[in-house]
Chains A and B, each alone.
Chain A
Amino acid sequence: MRTGLLAAGGAGMAALFLWGMAGLPPFGSYPGPYGDLLDSFAVGERKATDVVSAVNFDYRGFDTLGEEFILFVSVAGATLLLRKIEESADGEESREESEREDRQAGRAPPPTSDATRAFGVALVGLTVLFGLYMISHGQTTPGGGFQGGVILATAPLSVYLAADARTFQRIAPRSVVEWVGSMAAAAYIVLGLAAVVLGAEFLRNVTPLGEEEKMGSSGNIFWLNLGVGIEVAGGFVLLLSVFIEEALQRRLRRESR
């Protein structure tokens, strides 16, 4: 019966879609004024050659504030969901006990292959450099905080894949990552409030604009990109570390039984 309802609903929805889309302007004829306006003065006004980043971080910077905090809150929510139940079900003592037993018996996770390790070593430096490049050049070329942040977050992942979970926890300890990510998220608001302190409205572009096509240009956009990039990287590394920690401890506990 559910399939019947679904088919009927789907057919109705398809009909609505066709009717609605027949009224849209033809593909390739964008009529609205805002796009053209922005294209014409964004580069001169903000000295940012990437107009999409300028729209994201300057003209509509308030939306990006909301989006950054959606990311932050959902990472916090996922961490909370997965961590809290683990502690209430098993408790601290049994985890430490099983880790001690495991170390005494000399059991360890199986070693990774040489090809993976070599590839990982080559990849980590390149990934960090590329992520930092993408974050810092968000206002001149396509890229920006979000893209560069996720690329930066795959560097600790390469370390986890090439080495083991213990190395991963050593280079990206949970407390440090949480602290750095939260500070970067707060930096967005601090920059916005700095504008208020200087007498303009919230999130106005107040830092010096510089020249076009140079790295530190377009004022606020550069610093906001940096903050967002570090926060996104911290969020994803945190997500990763929560999943990896739980999976590792379960395997240790299972092997020690």
Chain B
Amino acid sequence: MGFFQIGVFLLVAVSALGVVRTRDPLAQSVAVSFYGLVLSLLFFLHQAPDVALSQIVVGAVALPLMILLALSRIHAQDEERK
């Protein structure tokens, strides 16, 4: 395994730790987007282009979008409660 492959694996591990350690959900959506991109880089590197495309589209676009929409609804519910 070359240095680049080892580096990307370690980056995946560190990014996962970063996503979990970020407590604020708004900041976490950005962390999830970055983690999705790093994972898709891993998939590209290991000869899986189909899966990499799927991961980009889901992990970096659809997932943060749903998180932000859920947060906006929760915020609106909070405001209405006051």
Bound pair: A and B? yes
A151 to B72, CA, bound (A): 23
- Chain A residues with Cβ below 8 Å from B51 are 52
Alpha-carbon distance between A79 and B72 when the two chains are bound, in angstroms? 16
By the criterion CB–CB under 8 Å, are B66 and A239 in contact?
yes
Residues of A within 8 A of B66 (CB): 239, 243
Q: Are B57 and A243 closer than 8 Å at their CB atoms?
A: no
CA distance A236 to B66 in the complex (A): 10
Q: Specify which of A53, A142, A254 lies most central, judged by the most chain B CB atoms within 10 Å of its CB.
A: A142
- Known contacts A243-B73, A247-B73, A250-B76: does B58 contact A150 (CB below 8 Å)? yes
B-side interface residues, number (CB < 8 Å):
21
Q: A150-B57, A250-B80 are in contact. Are A240 and B49 (CB under 8 A)?
A: no
Indicate if the CB atoms of B69 and A243 lie closer than 8 Å.
yes
Contact present for A247 and B76 (CB under 8 Å) = yes
A interface: dominant SS: helix
Question: In whole angstroms, what is the CA distance A246 to B77 when docked?
Answer: 10
A247 touches B57 (CB 8 A): no
Q: Is A50 engaged at the interface, CB distance under 8 Å to the other chain?
A: yes
Which one, A27, A143, A250, contacts B53 given CB within 8 A? A143
Residues of A within 8 A of B80 (CB): 250, 253-254
B interface footprint on A231-244 (CB within 8 Å = 1, 0 otherwise): 00000100110011
Q: Cα distance A240–B70 when bound, in Å?
A: 10
Asked if residues B50 and A236 are in contact (CB atoms below 8 Å), the reply is: no
- Mark contacts of A149-188 with chain B using CB atoms, 8 A cut-off: 1 yes-contact digit, 0 otherwise: 0110010010000000000000000000000000000000
| A:221-237 near B, CB below 8 Å | 236
Is B65 interfacial (CB 8 A cutoff)? yes
CB distance from A150 to the nearest CB of B (A): 4
Instruction: Contact check, B76 vs A251: say whether CB atoms are below 8 A apart.
Output: yes
The reply to whether B50 and A151 contact each other, CB–CB distance below 8 Å, is no
B27 at interface by CB-CB < 8 Å = no
Binding site for B on A (CB under 8 A): 27-28, 50, 52-53, 82, 134, 142-144, 146-147, 150-151, 154, 157, 236, 239-240, 243-244, 246-247, 250-251, 253-254
Beyond known contacts A147-B53, A150-B62, A243-B72: 4 more, CB 8 A cutoff: A28-B1, A82-B73, A134-B53, A250-B79
B positions within 8 Å CB-CB of A: 1, 49-54, 57-58, 61-62, 65-66, 69-70, 72-73, 76-77, 79-80
A-B contact pairs, 15 of them (CB 8 A): A27-B1, A52-B50, A143-B53, A146-B57, A150-B57, A154-B61, A240-B65, A240-B69, A244-B69, A247-B72, A250-B77, A250-B80, A253-B80, A254-B76, A254-B79
